[in-house]
Structure 1
Amino acid sequence: APLHPDVESKITAVELDPRCGGTHFQRRLLIPLQRPSAYTFLLNKLIRLTPESHQDFQALQSAVEHTTAASKLVSLALKAGGQRAKINALEAQFHGKIKLTEETELVRTGKVSMFEESWKFDDTDPIPKFDQVTLHLLNDRLIVSHGDEKRGFKAEHDLIQSPDAWFEMDEEAARVLSKALPLDEGARYSVVRLHY
């Protein structure tokens, strides 16, 4: 829409002001794709430069409150959308065999070595053969699986479906492993026993 002649003349006068350094007004406008936080930043800067006695001060304060609230809503929606995409990707890696809720958040995924729960660590016993698995730690469950990201995962244990499942740290086992198996300098073994 064409600008009102009065507005256009004011814009031209501002653009000619030497403090603008030859920058055109259009380059100073926020484009719709920019996040609402840009508006909050701009309004906060304006309010710092506006004396409380100015007639626009109250309106600026109100605008800051509204843009801050809008910015938080947009950030939450973006975070939720990103989280849902991660959950959908994780469900797809399990070929649809597990279902996760909207509240589920992926905390961390990592490879670990597993051995029989009943195995006793002793300095004289040989170290058992390890079973490489992937742990998927979610905010509401722990899934132990075989497989990888390329071929997909097969859930072996889903601890949300085992109400009696629990785990414990085993410091003695970690000590034995650290002595028996090679480690990078500064690294150490952590042994977690899963009971299900």
Structure 2
Amino acid sequence: MIEDGRVALLPPQFRLLRDSSFFSLQGNALLSLPTSSGKTLLAEFALVESLQSQAGLSVYLVPYIALGNQVMAALKRHLPESISLIGVFGGYEGEAPAIVTGGRTVLVATPERFDLLLRTASIIDALKLVIVDEAHLLESGVRGARLEGILSRLLLKQHSLPNLRLLLVSAVLQDITALSTWLKIDGRYFHDGWRPTSRRVAF
């Protein structure tokens, strides 16, 4: 990070990194921070932590290809050399890529491509962490229904894979209570209202 010019942490990043439970505790979690306050970097730390002590596959779900390219660029700069990085974007068209699950791998994918992989590739038993960026899209239309289906499948799989963890990241989630109950968050809801810019409110 220092070589990449990141010589300081934003206040929410510092507070959550100091609270090691955000990364080390098992169980699903929800991270809510305002826009541009450092969610993506915290998600990067969670990815590395999930693969720190054992091999496996951790996934970063992005709703848009442009966002996926940004995340891929950041991970290429920040991930340790021991972790492989694969990007898979777009819809259901085309063949699912081959995913080698024997080492430490981070997959950045759109929900549609990840859904295809879950249906056609033998990756689910290797999963350690699935991060859902822009998780508020659960509340919107067809894409929300598809994302809900993916999470429902992973929640069922957690009965046989207790080390599989889900982390939802968003700036504007509306119904925290219902989502926390569904995902069995059990208090692992991390929120910080700090914003990187001032705001003027006029009446």
Structure with the greater alpha carbon radius of gyration = 1
The TM-score by the shorter chain falls in which range? under 0.3
- Between the two structures, name the one with larger relative contact order (CA 8 Å, sep ≥ 6): 2
TM-score normalised by the chain length of structure 2: 0.19
